[in-house]
Chain A
């Protein structure tokens, strides 16, 4: 059976050629340049702009938008870039704790190339309260990587985008409107913006100034009847009034608004691919008071802290001053991916973990409530 492979007239010539491979490579390696190896590479440099990672930022300006909402304008350490609609975390040390929260970016992507970025925050919780009452120009913060998929996606989305905003949910759409106005993106945007009263509208003046053939803004006031404004809640009727044909819906607002719109949108028969909802941070849960022991391994250290049954593991770790990683705080991004050693738990909302995470016992502390004492391994922040 066996055939003899031979390329040259004599087989030994093939053998000789084989023998030369090592000397040949040795020679080639020795011929390489003696110049120092590059310390960085262009693609990696661009990647660093697209994904700056954590960076320092100085708070430069605070703008009061409404009585309970302020815009915080930062100057970042490095230029970066993002997609309009994305969020980033803003963090700093409050007392003994390292605290950070994700906020939708309200400034234009182009500004970030000049190290300028803004988030617009409604005073409603611990960290937003701190920002609202205590932050001042000149303070230093740590900003995270721009993240999230709540963006216009040209390859699959309809060129007609219906944005539905509730309250401070307007922020990502304001960034999107700016990116349309300055030519960064190209599609048509209709914003239905719901608020209680005219006084509660954030960015009204700015949005009105951006209105064009591509950008339409409709204000919907629930608690006030006023000329030039729609009245009531955003529902099927208003949607039909302002958009028709094929469109992509993007919603950003409180959970109650999503629940209401889910019903209202039914009659449109939209496939999932046409509907996007920005996730909200996981909050407290309503259970009987209980405090469990949470043992946390970070790096080579082990800590034991209290974990309230009603709060997520992430919140308990932050309360205790542990430097745990966090990003979306909605269970989806996987940034806080941690290994469960023992204990029982419940999830907030849908399980967004990878299949193998369930199999091998990994959890996302940002959306996990303790139901017993627990022991987990958390990567350092």
Chain B
């Protein structure tokens, strides 16, 4: 029987990083992936003369060599930074809420951001400064917390990171109002909220501020060859470090030890049994506890049932046969909302017929050569905050997805004034069904468990040790302690990979 120190299930962003960390820690590691290519959603696909990015809008916290963010530091440590060609995203975002006549384009850089905000909302500067001060303290507090593996000293926390602790239990809206930020500035500042998928009364301020700070302070980056380049670079690194990788191979069961019910092995879809005492699962606890393990403690069932699925994904990809200039597509990254009231917007996002929110990217605005001359590529993403797609029968599926695609095109044309419809050369649409099939996520969820108030970033990080309930089993990816998003998934793989190395060493 094949034997490994650790098996990583799933070659998504979290699993790839976990595998590298395990190998760097000296563990003999097998990575199994049910798809024929790595990356999970971090991939690309070809249609005609276009190669579409499957999911990444922009990678935050990467930065440049001189202004490195934590993701770059991590990639440096993993040994993959130089395997990838990077480029910088030119500006942060443009948010349009047409019904409220809100149309703001925001730059990267804290000072630039504050100045631009002042031009849209005179008098906003003092509260914006406080926001970035708080956000930076949060970053430092998190760095401290990571450095002690979540076992923070309360005295140090209160003394050095008092503001962090005092704001740490509140929602985005609660904190921004306390800072007396003008409403319009709140509306512009909170445009990124759909990247995290919980509304602003529910989403923890710490989580949101931490993300905004990473974007604005370090800028955002993109691999030239789409995220497939990152995923293949990671696989190359795993192979260099002597790891084994099996594609088209699904781990169907985690075999359990008779005595402690901990990890004893992994059963693959072709019947192969792999002996191991350590698994990093880059998939949902719902799947692991729901069908991959035979003996699951009631506490784990309860804890898993208690959690709420975050957004179910939908993305339309367009290859256009005219350039962004010709089509009047001015920006790289758009957020188009019906209302700045995120609670009302969140409600509308529950149903197929009422959800017209979109986060839209024109990749050529960051990387003009990403498609042939005289063309451009766009992708339009939205989230569904309920399982309305579960009501769509197979025979109505194609019509429904075409209808949503039409809604998205109409919305974009109406809000931005650019006309794209007659220039569509290639179209591809991914729905919750696509995401459900591609990565096996329940209900087509792409954001893991929702960052709702009680299950936000802070308590998850603080409870990392007690959430580790099964001997030998750790999680990585969007469902785990850092929540969803590319950088979060990479960090989770880093944490779980390194912790598993520790587990292995302790076992001797």
Contact = CB atoms under 8 A, between A and B. Distances in A.
Nearest to B440: A44
B390 A28 contact: no
Nearest to A1: B133
B229 A43 contact: no
Contact of B291 (A34, A39, A336): A39
A6 B166 contact: yes
Interface string A13-28: 0110110111011101
A340 B468 CA distance: 39
A33 B225 contact: no
B414 interface: no
B79 to A, nearest CB: 15
Nearest to B312: A43
A83 B427 CA distance: 15
Contacts of B48: 272
B451 interface: no
Residue among A5, A35, A80 with the highest chain B CB neighbour number at 10 A: A5
A181 interface: no
Interface in B168-188: 168-170, 174-175, 178-179
B56 interface: no
Per DSSP, are chain B's interface residues mostly helix, strand or loop, or mixed? helix
A68 interface: no
Contact of B455 (A17, A25, A81, A334): A25
B400 to A, nearest CB: 11
A7 B235 CA distance: 47
Interface in B455-504: 455, 458-460, 462-463, 466
Interface residues of A, number: 76
A259 interface: no
A155 B405 contact: yes
Given A2-B133, A41-B442, A332-B46, A30 B397 contact: no
Interface string B288-313: 01110000101101111111000010
B232 A356 contact: yes
Given A32-B306, A33-B305, A325 B248 contact: yes
A334 B246 CA distance: 16
B29 interface: no
Nearest to A299: B246
A90 B405 CA distance: 32
A205 B349 CA distance: 49
B405 A4 contact: no
Interface stretch (B213-221, B355-363, B431-439): B431-439
Given A43-B444, A354-B226, A81 B394 contact: yes
B158 interface: yes
Interface stretch (A46-54, A55-63, A282-290, A307-315): A46-54
Given A14-B167, A25-B455, A356 B304 contact: no
A43 B167 contact: no
A357 B169 CA distance: 45
A334 B247 CA distance: 13
A43 B389 contact: yes
Contacts of A11: 162, 166
Contacts of A47: 433-434, 436-437, 444
Contacts of B301: 32-37
Contacts of A357: 228, 232
A379 B247 contact: yes
Interface string B387-428: 101101111011000100110010000000000000111111
A345 interface: no
A354 to B, nearest CB: 5
Interface of A: 1-7, 11, 14-15, 17-18, 20-22, 24-26, 28-39, 41-44, 46-51, 79-81, 83, 109-110, 113, 149, 153-156, 184, 271-273, 299-300, 325, 332, 334-337, 352-357, 359-360, 362, 379-381
Q: For the complex of A and B, list the 9 residue pairs with the smallest distance between their C-beta atoms, beginning with the closest.
A: A32-B306, A37-B290, A42-B390, A379-B248, A14-B166, A32-B305, A32-B302, A379-B247, A273-B425
Given A14-B166, A24-B459, A359-B225, 20 more contacts: A6-B178, A21-B454, A21-B459, A21-B462, A24-B454, A29-B302, A30-B299, A32-B304, A34-B305, A42-B387, A42-B443, A47-B436, A109-B395, A154-B402, A300-B2, A300-B272, A325-B248, A334-B37, A354-B51, A359-B229
13 contacts: A4-B163, A29-B303, A44-B440, A51-B433, A110-B395, A156-B424, A156-B425, A271-B321, A271-B425, A336-B36, A355-B44, A359-B229, A360-B232
